[in-house]
Amino acid sequence: MNGKNESDFISKNCSQTSTNSNKERLTLIATERALLNDRDGSYRQKLLETVIKYHQFVHAQMNEGLNPQEFAVFSKLKLALESAKKIIINFK
């Protein structure tokens, strides 16, 4: 994804209310299973790298300047990504 498409994707998906809670639960369960079965740590590392990449992107967008509504969305997303990073690191 290039920067523009990534920004559009994040903005669109963060501004919608969740209507796919069952799908989100299934994704979370699949992620938990993958982490539990990750014997060599490669899945955890890849997941962590992905979260860090998105965190860096969100942080850069916030530093470049966003309108107040976008800034509010990106602030929440940044916090969620920081929480996800802690969860991934500490998942046992």
pLDDT given for residue 76 in this prediction: 96
Domain that holds residue 87: 40-92
pLDDT digits (tens, 9 = 90+) for 23-64: 666 677 888 889 999 999 999 999 999 999 999 999 999 999
Count of domains forming the chain: 1
Residue 89 lies in a domain: yes
**pLDDT of 11:** 54
- CA–CA separation, 46 and 11 (whole Å): 24
pTM to 2 decimal places: 0.69
Q: Which of 80, 82, 72, 78 is nearest to 58 (CA)?
A: 78
Contacts of 84-88 with C-beta under 8 Å, sequence gap 24+, read: 84/51, 85/48, 85/51, 85/52, 85/55, 88/35, 88/44, 88/47, 88/48, 88/51
33 occurs within a structural domain: no
User: Do the domain assignments include residue 26?
Assistant: no
